[in-house]
Amino acid sequence: MTGVRFAAIQMVSAAELEPNLEAAERLIGEAARAGAKLVALPENFYCISGDESAKVRLREPDGDGPIQRFLAGAARAHGVWVVGGTAPIACPDPARIRSACMVYDDAGRRVARYDKMHLFRFSAGNERYDESRTLEAGGQPVAVESPYGRLGLSICYDVRFPELYRGLGEIDVLFVPSAFTVQTGEAHWATLLRARAIENLAYVVAPAQGGLHPSGRRTYGHTLIADPWGAVLAERAEGEGMVLAHIDRDRIAQLRRDLPALINRRLS
């Protein structure tokens, strides 16, 4: 098997910060011991609560705080790159936060920050969500160079907006840390992720929240890694754990030679 092993972590996070950090630490360690060179955490790995303002109460200044120190320390301790799901970063509005995906290299240095651009709003039956009440939208797509290729960052609801990914240029691996609802996940999760992989001829790594949370919320799960041809290489339906797959840049290059869709584009 060629390529570098990546891990996508699935969690069923609680409302309290410390148990979530302990679970993430354990799972990052397990992934590192399994040979992963990069480990990706899900959206809101630090907190899933019935009270959406709980995330706001955990907000941190950019560059410091328990969650950011944890991510840097875990990357350094285990010698892996970490795509840190999301962290709650303070913004000028005290009632809201930026939901930020931080990337740390294997020395624990932060090398990228992406703020969620598209804020989820959904209403069906008894389910109602409006992230704009507690989140401030980001305004800038982000990609980062790594020893494992060019990494494109996105978060959950972003996956419904293909223009975000096109705007990043040629990307080797796209990340979609998520906490999908069951209803939208059953209908669209795998289809959206595989579509983003196929149209960008890139791997997609999608760590998710998956299961019944102590708050009573249920998230869809189905953490997966898809290859540039849209094949699902690994998937975990529900419950805490991880999936592992090899990211092969030679396969990306070969598929882009065989099907030069990226250079055949007529619209930008």
| Catalytic residue list | 43, 116, 156
Tokens of 198: 């196929």
Task: Give the C-alpha separation, 70 to 75, whole Å.
Answer: 9
DSSP per-residue string spanning 209-253: BEEE-TTS-EEE--EEEE-TTS-EEEEE-SSSEEEEEEE-HHHHH
Number of CB atoms found within 10 A of residue 121's CB: 12
DSSP label at residue 127? E
As given in the structure block, the two tokens for residue 249 are 């840049």
User: CA 268, CA 261: separation in Å to the nearest integer?
Assistant: 13
Give the Cα separation of 239 and 13 in Å (integer).
Answer: 10
